[in-house]
A and B are shown apart, each in its own frame.
Chain A
Amino acid sequence: MTDIAALPPKKVHRRWRAPLPLSGMIGLALVIFWLFIALFGPLLAPYEVGAFVAPDVFQPISSDHLLGSDYLGRDVLSRLLYGARYTVGLALAAAVLASVTGTSLALFAAVSGRWIDEAMSRFMDALISIPSKIFALVMVAAFGSSLTLLLLIAWFTYIPGAYRIARSLAVNLNALEYVQVARARGEGRRYIALAEILPNMIHPMLADFGLRFMFIVLLLSSMSFLGLGVQPPQADLGSLVRENVSGLGDGAPAILVPALAIATLTVGVNLLIDSLPRRGGRNAGEG
């Protein structure tokens, strides 16, 4: 306790602004790059997204088609620039919804009575045991794939995980003295949840949000790769890999580039999160 008290308070604030390690910088650069592409990609695309512009299919990299052509002779770069929007947009929306819902439910559980907390936690534990891909497959079989359904699937799949992390943070904070003081002062549950507990769990929840975003990108890409995700004529990065799978034998950039695109996005997010300082957890014991 004493050495924590001896630290100048400034230092605690500084930690978040401390320069990132190299891996973190690379991660940050990749994340910013993909957000930029998702926002402005279509403006940069050299060709129309569905236009057949190349003279041949599965062309290698050339000056006319920077990333070659796909299985129908379309420009891979243009399709990539349009497709990133679906992957990043859907995953971002689903991750935000899942994190916000999970955190709200967790706050509610933490400040409510023991029974509500217990019942909700048991229920979430049961939900978490349903593997995400299996749930997604059953849902797609029942309702047919659509963007809305994919968003709903990713949203609901990742609520229990966010809830679990948020609840453990909230319960710990709830037991701290300053919250008890607030309670003794007569503050309502809503005030305690939103003004006392929430601000202190924002940082770990942001890191968790990043992880969830990454898992959703992987889930959506896998679904699209199986042909059960985003449906043509729309195409996200996973669909681009699937479409061009017949180019695998030729080593066409049409299949490698979208797969690499997904990997750089998810690896970037992961590197960035891993280099953020956080208490306990995965980084405990690192010198």
Chain B
Amino acid sequence: MSTTLILIARRLGIALLTLLLVSAVVFTISSLLPGDAAEETLGQSATPEAVAALRHQLGLDQPAPVRYANWLGGLVTGDPGQSMSSNLPVSEVVGDRLPNSLLLAAMTAAVAIPLALLIGILSAVYRGSRLDRSLNIFTLSMVAVPEFLIATIAVLIFAVKLQWLPSITMVPEEATWGEFLRAYAMPVMTLCFVVMAQMARMTRAAVIDQLTQPYVEMAILKGVRPTRVVLTHVLPNAIAPIVNAIALSLSHLLGGAIIVETIFNYPGIASLMVNAVTSRDMPLLQACAMIFCGAYLLLVLIADVVAIIANPRLRSQ
């Protein structure tokens, strides 16, 4: 068991190191910007003295490594600085939006993961059949279709032609379940299309990989029913690549929701980041970028840990 812990600790260490590297990249790129927060706040008519004074006050006159250390320290202690465009602490601005994004991501995951697993397993079990081939073409096309096409077609059909669903996602404070579901139906559907395909394809590949193993043939020969073969023999062995695929797809739900949030006017964190880009609000932008990369690394880490725990061979190595 201790080797498992060592393996997990090593993965954790690698993830933290990567996060550090990512923070350095994000900081470096954003400090390449011409002009800084002091010039931005005071505007063009400011005297050089006033700019210098504010720069000193904000700590911008210190060398880059010191500023990087300060910023990193702030991030770790939960204070990523002041948003330039709204003059609020970044943590407050992000805290407003993050729950919305997480809710959307959670609802999408709840729909997409079971569906993707079902598609993947079905097409693996019936591989080569007409069902498999049509599912294959379907998932292939889904990977390649831009999400704004799915979103615009969905709006055209459900909001404009049929008028079943609202084209803008606004959830009032006290919504009934029906209103809630109606509001979220289209963004969740669009995101599902985007993330399902990859998961389904990887599941199919992983399950087929196991189905061709001798032990499965053995199980079939000894008369185990097909459902049981898949559920108790194949899935436990295919879990590692499947969890990996799920993690990769889910990581798309926070940052990749940019398009969906823009189209449906949804107040999530990705559209916050786009606003930060257009208003060049660097502290906010840095914080958002770190959240997305952190979420990605966390998901990959979880997938790695699950893979280690699920695989006895990896454990004993």
Bound form: Cα–Cα A140–B29 in Å: 10
Distance of A240 from chain B, by nearest CB (Å): 11
Bound form: Cα–Cα A130–B143 in Å: 20
Q: Is the CB of B152 within 8 A of A259?
A: yes
A287 sits at the interface (CB 8 A): yes
CB < 8 Å: which of B137, B144, B146, B277 contacts A259? B146
Chain A residue with Cβ nearest B202: A282
Chain B residues with Cβ below 8 Å from A218 are 144, 146
B276 sits at the interface (CB 8 A): yes
Within 8 A of A (CB), among B119-159: 127-128, 136-137, 140-141, 143-149, 152-153, 155-156
B32 sits at the interface (CB 8 A): yes
Chain B residues with Cβ below 8 Å from A287 are 127-128
Q: Is the CB of A267 within 8 A of B25?
A: no
CB < 8 Å: which of A126, A138, A263 contacts B285? A138
Chain B residue with Cβ nearest A259: B149
B218 sits at the interface (CB 8 A): no
Q: Is the CB of B152 within 8 A of A129?
A: no
Within 8 A of B (CB), among A212-252: 214, 218, 221-222, 225-228, 238, 241, 245, 248-249, 251
Bound form: Cα–Cα A227–B211 in Å: 47
Count residues of A near B (Cβ-Cβ below 8 Å). Answer: 46
Bound form: Cα–Cα A216–B279 in Å: 25
Q: Is the CB of A266 within 8 A of B145?
A: yes
Q: Is the CB of A263 within 8 A of B144?
A: yes
Bound form: Cα–Cα A208–B231 in Å: 33
Bound form: Cα–Cα A217–B72 in Å: 35
A271 sits at the interface (CB 8 A): yes
Distance of A24 from chain B, by nearest CB (Å): 11
Distance of A163 from chain B, by nearest CB (Å): 16
CB < 8 Å: which of A138, A143, A269, A270 contacts B26? A138
Within 8 A of A (CB), among B249-297: 251-252, 255-256, 258-259, 262-263, 273-274, 276-278, 280, 282, 285, 288-289, 292-293, 296-297
Chain B residues with Cβ below 8 Å from A284 are 205, 208-209
Q: Is the CB of A141 within 8 A of B128?
A: no
B314 sits at the interface (CB 8 A): no
Secondary structure at the B interface, as helix, strand, loop or mixed, is helix
Q: Is the CB of B205 within 8 A of A282?
A: yes
Q: Is the CB of A225 within 8 A of B148?
A: yes
A255 sits at the interface (CB 8 A): yes
Within 8 A of A (CB), among B1-33: 17-18, 21-22, 25-26, 29-30, 32-33
Q: Is the CB of A137 within 8 A of B274?
A: yes
Chain B residues with Cβ below 8 Å from A140 are 277
Chain A residues with Cβ below 8 Å from B127 are 285-287
Chain B residues with Cβ below 8 Å from A260 are 149
Bound form: Cα–Cα A134–B156 in Å: 29
Q: Is the CB of A130 within 8 A of B25?
A: yes
Within 8 A of B (CB), among A112-151: 125-126, 129-131, 133-134, 137-143
Distance of A36 from chain B, by nearest CB (Å): 20
A168 sits at the interface (CB 8 A): no
Bound form: Cα–Cα A129–B209 in Å: 27
Chain B residues with Cβ below 8 Å from A263 are 141, 144-146, 149
Distance of A103 from chain B, by nearest CB (Å): 23
Distance of A111 from chain B, by nearest CB (Å): 26
Bound form: Cα–Cα A183–B278 in Å: 55
Chain A residue with Cβ nearest B129: A287
Given contacts A130-B293, A245-B263, 10 further A-B contacts (CB under 8 A): A126-B22, A131-B256, A137-B273, A141-B33, A245-B152, A248-B152, A248-B156, A248-B167, A251-B161, A284-B209
Taking Cβ atoms with an 8 Å cutoff, the residues of B that contact A are 17-18, 21-22, 25-26, 29-30, 32-33, 127-128, 136-137, 140-141, 143-149, 152-153, 155-156, 160-161, 167, 201, 205, 208-209, 211-212, 251-252, 255-256, 258-259, 262-263, 273-274, 276-278, 280, 282, 285, 288-289, 292-293, 296-297, 300
